[in-house]
Chain A
Amino acid sequence: MINKKETIQELEQRVRACQDILLANLVMMSETPAPTFHEQDRVRFLLDRFREAGLDYISDDEVNNGLGYLPGPEGAPTVALVAHLDTVFSDKDSHALSLGSDRVKGIGIGDNSLGAAVLASLPHLIQLLEIPINVNLWFCGVSRSLGRGNLGGIRFLLDHLEQLPDQAICIEGAPLGRLNYTSLAMMRGEIEVEVPDEYDFSRFGVMGAIVHMNDIINRILEIPRPSRPQTSVVFGSLHSGNSFHELARKASLRFEVRSESDDVVEMIEKRISQIIEEVRARSGVNIALNKIAHRSHGGLDFSHPLVQSSQKVLENLAVEPKIGPSMSELAAFISHDIPAITLGISNGHEINTLDEEMEVDLIFKGITQILGVLQTLNVEGELS
């Protein structure tokens, strides 16, 4: 039974004693494929865990979000605990997980099977460890977060919940110490170049899609980017061509523009559109810019009690806070003016690759952190 004198280190020891609960959920969650838009099997598993823990209002919705509710004291405010269920991996990839003494290895663990497994474990752990919670808790496994999903799950949820939560904590697998409370402005896009069948090579020269795409990339890199507000353009993937000897007829580029300013993102987006117009006119090839996702800049002040109490918990656990912006579910809460933070659970290596692995020992510190922050909420009848 927890009491007021229990230190966070003592709580951590009690969490460690329950390692098999969390690790079993991690194995079962990780080995259930959940490519974006196909999260239904993970939702089923999550809801089974919620049922076994006796949560109320267990339900899923038409976009594959899974929910459960743990009531707090009467009249208490409500906090949403959120983890996205999808990963970037196809269901054709091997999802077998290997659990060693100090590392756990498998695809999609850091982003975000571990976060989802923690969400699945928390209701059971809160009861088992008798953690005093002074708020109502919504446990939300959300779908369609990554890539083209564009936070579709959490957006749907926030658009349809009868009563929005007062605060939110988003759980991500990695890294431990992550403390996000602002969202960057962001535009995620895809540029597609296609050389038409009737292309007049005598007029435009012998150049395939790769050369035109290369031209576009070089021109984007020439766009002036301010150092303040911090701004970056990330080229995430590039695909083109099939052989050594044939000109590539198609090329596609996925990219993100990120900034601490909505205006800067808008400016760069306009400039990219102009570049595409220019290259299209000059080259005669088809070029399309598809806007996949958009976020607005915003968030909490560093002095917000939710940020402060989270930082204190991390310090007590001797974990260095890694403060920075995020573009995950946090952005959706910020756009609804709901105070929210994102916390990480453990440190990972080669995240989102086939060699992805996480440190086992830190996982229990990561869970203790979440339980520690939950205990600070509404301790004196006010949401901190």
Chain B
Amino acid sequence: MKIDQWLESNTFHHSEFWDVRQLVADKEKQNLKISLCIPTLNEEKTIGKEIVIFRSELMSRYPLIDEIAVVDSGSTDKTLEVASNYGADTYFSGDILPEEGFKRGKGENLWKAIHQLNGDIIVYVDADITNIHPRFVTGLVAPLIYKPETHYVKAFYDRPLAFSQGIRPSGGGRVTEILTRPLFSMFFPELTALMQPLSGEYAVRRQVLEEIAFPIGYGVEISHLIDVYTRWGLEAFAQTDLDKRVHRNQATRDLGKMAFGILQAFINRCEQLDMVNVKSEMAHILRQFQVNGEQIEQQEFTIIEEERPPMKTIKSYQEKFHS
């Protein structure tokens, strides 16, 4: 599928799906169940309103979502208490599939959610969105409901930057533009059609989620895209413009760690696909510097992109969903 053609047919704006009643009717006709998963780690400031908005608008008012679950990595603030107060099912990631152990990371929460939640479609929405709105779910599940050939729907956002004369760049964040987009351009040109490949909001069919591996850290999104693309092709994707997303701005140093994890996951995938051949073992230490008074200090961070296998290979999952 050509990129232009895909952009024309598989890129949406959330306003195209304003009719939630119709969405619910089509969902019910297909007998689909939809689960919302919010992975968390210390998100007490924003989790409460995410829960009440989704419960009120997409469960009570329009029964689009069948369950809302918060899967937590071990928050030390009141994230789980607040989420539970407002009606979400709350889980500590380590309590799900305990025989598989617990690893700390967002990807771990997303992976465990596949086992814990019951939906045919799982929508992942980050917990740090301060301008939360029902469109963050409706815009992502609608292409899956209306287009059976679509399996994986990514969000993208309006990121207004300084502009003049009516032209303004529209794209991803710093890591996307500096790292991910150049990598995709070199190795998977068709994936450059995704405006914001690293966005944390996406909706996916269970039969796809259970087939793909999950890096537990920063590399989960890029691995998903490569795995789904190589197996099902570009036509399996859609993307929806959700307008503005207001969230915490990350420091450049933190983005460095993110980029390091993403690069590991990317190279791992390329090796598996015989696209590159790294002859020596890759190091897992990221070295950064900071100035402390008159001293320049060195800091080392060990970042290893561990990976969870496809959920379909886990015995407990097989018993729950395929026996």
A interface, CB within 8 angstroms of B: 18-21, 23-25, 27-28, 31, 52, 96-101
Contact = CB atoms under 8 A, between A and B. Distances in A.
A95 B61 CA distance: 25
A19 B81 CA distance: 16
A323 B60 CA distance: 37
Given A28-B53, A96-B131, A99-B52, A20 B81 contact: no
A24 B53 contact: yes
B60 A97 contact: no
Nearest to A52: B61
B23 interface: no
A346 to B, nearest CB: 16
Interface of B: 44-46, 48-49, 51-53, 55-57, 59-61, 78, 81-82, 85-87, 130-133, 246
A20, A21, A101, most chain B CB atoms within 10 A = A20
B82 A99 contact: yes
A18 B132 CA distance: 20
Nearest to B21: A52
A96, A98, A99, most chain B CB atoms within 10 A = A99
Given A20-B87, A96-B246, 7 more contacts: A20-B56, A23-B56, A24-B52, A24-B57, A31-B131, A98-B45, A101-B48
24 contacts: A19-B86, A20-B55, A20-B56, A20-B87, A23-B56, A24-B52, A24-B55, A24-B56, A24-B57, A27-B49, A27-B52, A28-B133, A31-B131, A96-B130, A96-B131, A98-B49, A99-B48, A99-B49, A99-B82, A99-B86, A100-B45, A100-B48, A100-B82, A101-B48
A23 B48 CA distance: 10
B93 to A, nearest CB: 22
B52 A20 contact: yes
Complex A-B, nearest 4 residue pairs according to Cβ-Cβ distance, in ascending order: A24-B56, A99-B48, A20-B56, A23-B52
A134 to B, nearest CB: 27
Contacts of A19: 52, 86
A236 to B, nearest CB: 31
A60 B87 CA distance: 35
A96 B53 CA distance: 14
Contacts of B86: 19-20, 23, 99
B46 A98 contact: yes
B262 to A, nearest CB: 29
A99 B43 CA distance: 11
Contacts of B131: 31, 96
B58 to A, nearest CB: 10
The B interface, classified by DSSP as helix, strand, loop or mixed, is: helix
Nearest to A96: B130
A98 B48 contact: yes
Contacts, number: 55
Contacts of B133: 28
Contacts of A31: 131
A101 B56 contact: no
A101 B81 contact: yes
A97 B81 contact: no
Contacts of B81: 101
B78 A100 contact: yes
Contacts of B59: 20
A19, A21, A24, most chain B CB atoms within 10 A = A24
Nearest to B46: A98
A27 B131 CA distance: 9
Nearest to B132: A27
A355 B124 CA distance: 31
A21 B45 CA distance: 20
A20 B246 CA distance: 22
A96 B128 CA distance: 12
Contacts of B53: 24, 27-28
A52 B20 CA distance: 12
A101 B48 CA distance: 8
A28 B136 CA distance: 14
Contact of A101 (B46, B49, B60, B78): B78
B56 A21 contact: yes
Contacts of B132: 27
B138 to A, nearest CB: 14
Contacts of B44: 100
A99 to B, nearest CB: 3
A98 B128 CA distance: 11
Nearest to A49: B61
Contacts of B60: 18, 20-21
Contacts of B46: 98
A97 B55 contact: no
A21 B56 CA distance: 5
A109 B56 CA distance: 19
A97 B49 contact: yes
A164 B55 CA distance: 38
A101 B52 contact: no
Contacts of A21: 56, 60-61
A21 B52 CA distance: 8
B52, B59, B133, most chain A CB atoms within 10 A = B52
B55 A101 contact: no
Contacts of B78: 100-101
A382 to B, nearest CB: 36
A25 B55 CA distance: 12
A81 to B, nearest CB: 21
B49, B53, B131, B132, most chain A CB atoms within 10 A = B49
A52 B51 CA distance: 21
A21 B53 CA distance: 8
Contacts of B61: 21, 52
B76 to A, nearest CB: 15
Nearest to B47: A99
Contacts of A27: 49, 52-53, 132
A46 B78 CA distance: 32
Contacts of A28: 53, 133
A379 B308 CA distance: 65
Contacts of B57: 24
B115 to A, nearest CB: 27
A317 to B, nearest CB: 22
A377 to B, nearest CB: 28
B40 to A, nearest CB: 15
